[in-house]
Amino acid sequence: MIPSESLWRCRATPWSSAGVSDPLQDPTLELHGSDGTLLAFDNDWKDSQQTEIEATQLQPTDNREAAILADLAPGGYTAIVRGKDNTTGVGLMEVYNLQ
């Protein structure tokens, strides 16, 4: 099966206009394979794949947001969103298939 490029993104931007009063301010993102293996981790998206993510034109608008660009074979994956330094709040996870 052919791998597919995808962008996994966790938003940190305040969403008061959407009625969310407690957004996750500084998310981290883990991407795991179906066997639980950690495939990738990101805290602040510009710290790792900035050039590649900007090329998708789907880059986050807040430097604190987490994003992972990955070539993945068809199958099951798990994304885990956490707050940096054990902070809490409501997180928004987005996945874009770039193929």
The model's pTM: 0.89
Rg (CA), the chain: 13
98: pLDDT strictly greater than 90: yes
pLDDT tens readout for residues 1-56: 667 999 999 987 666 667 777 888 899 999 999 999 999 999 999 998 999 999 99
Task: Give whole-number Cα distances, 76 to 4, 32, 42, 45, 62, in Å.
Answer: 13, 9, 19, 23, 28
Residue scoring higher pLDDT (67 or 23):
67
